[in-house]
Amino acid sequence: MKENHIGLRKTKQRELILNVISSAPGPVSVNEIAQLLEDCDKSTGIATIYRTVNLLLDNELIQCVRLHDAVQRYEPTNIPHHHHFHCSQCDKVYDLEGCYLHLHESTLKEGHQVNSHEITFRGICKDCKESS
Amino acid sequence: MKENHIGLRKTKQRELILNVISSAPGPVSVNEIAQLLEDCDKSTGIATIYRTVNLLLDNELIQCVRLHDAVQRYEPTNIPHHHHFHCSQCDKVYDLEGCYLHLHESTLKEGHQVNSHEITFRGICKDCKESS
DNA sequence: GTTCGTGCAAACCTTTTGCAGCCCA
DNA sequence: TGGGCTGCAAAAGGTTTGCACGAAC
């Protein structure tokens, strides 16, 4: 991981996994990572994928995105503030540009201090709408 | 199940489980439901709790709330549209009144059709702020 | 009495762990 | 060469399913 970060070894598998997560159009699950690696003939043991994902999480190179299904998905931490759209039909997740939340105060009327927020939209994605 | 909803039988266990979810101060997990039933000497098989929760979900009497930890929690659907505040310090979850999202179109600029949305705020809750 | 629901245990699925062999530094 | 990394398989944890008995109608 970037320049031997904290004594970690740079291996083919780790590069591949980080690359898959970084180049996906939205957050991906462990299964999707495994599938994508298989698709390009770079099959990797599932245990390695889990271990690598946890390693990347620990080093904050990726973060976990949790939507309405039970699946944990991962995305790079170095992308700008954004939110997600989750298709109810094909189950894919898309990144959305910008932020739809107009919240100017950092303290809510209930008195809680807000440090961050997450928004998830659900519905039917463009592709599913067009093919129906 | 409200008045024999769809041919479902009204049983002691189902009433208890719905009651536990409805009267909890916030969304509860399956484990919490099991614990609460045990506490009042109404222990129920874990399989029954899972089946009942899924039944209640199917009939939209409850809905699933997913925060940033891996736990699935459930709350009644018959409370008004609201969002959640999750305290990073004490881990409590608060319901927030109203909606901070000003979204007038139902189709995003990316072309996806929005049917619903969820917002979760994170930060420090009022109580934690005051006691620090 | 018939049908559906419950509880138990087994099955299942996802994630983690142990271990022997391999590979990077 | 040595210690971390991988892959396999087994284990662990959480959820679902099959089945026989019991409860609801």
Contacts of A126 in chain B (CB under 8 A): 110-112
Identify the residue with better confidence: B67 or A18.
Answer: A18
Once rounded to an integer, what is the mean pLDDT over residues A106-130? 89
Least confident of A97-106, B16-25, B63-72: A97-106
Q: Is the same domain home to A69 and A85?
A: no
- The pLDDT value given to residue A6: 45
B67: domain CATH number is 1.10.10.10
A81 and A99 in contact (C-beta within 8 Å)?
A: yes
User: Do both A43 and A107 map to the same domain?
Assistant: no
* Same domain, residue pair B40 and B10: yes
3-state secondary structure of B57: helix
DSSP A50-99: HHHHHHHHHTTSEEEEE-SSS-EEEEESSS-S-EEEEETTT--EEEESS-
Sequence-ordered list of residues with C-beta below 8 angstroms from that of B14, at least 6 positions apart, any chain: B1, B8, B52, B55
For chain A, how many structural domains are there in total?
2
Residue A53: what pLDDT? 96
Distances (CA, A) of B47 to A115, B23, B54: 38, 22, 11
pLDDT in tens, B55-74: 999 999 999 888 777 788 89
Regarding whether A131 and A75 lie in a shared domain, the answer is: no
For A35-47, how does the pLDDT look when each residue is reduced to its tens digit (9 = 90+)? 999 998 888 999 9
Interface residue A87 vs chain B (CB under 8 A): yes
Sign of CA dihedral A52, A54, A60, A65: positive
Cα end-to-end span (Å), chain B: 44
**The predicted structure's pLDDT at residue B6:** 47
Residue B122 forms contact with A (CB below 8 Å): yes
Token pair, residue B125, equals 């809750």
The predicted pLDDT at position A113 comes to 92
Question: Residue A125: which domain range?
Answer: 80-132
Residues A49, A91 share a domain: no
Residue B115 is nearest to which of A103, A116, A122, comparing CB atoms?
A122
Rounded to whole angstroms, the Cα distance separating B9 from B22 reads 19
Are A3 and A65 in the same domain?
yes
The verdict on pTM exceeding 0.75 is yes
Q: How confident is the model at residue B4 (pLDDT cuts 50, 70, 90)?
A: very low
Nearest residue to C7, CA vs C1'?
A: B45
How many A×B Cβ pairs under 8 Å?
A: 111
What was the pLDDT predicted at A103? 66
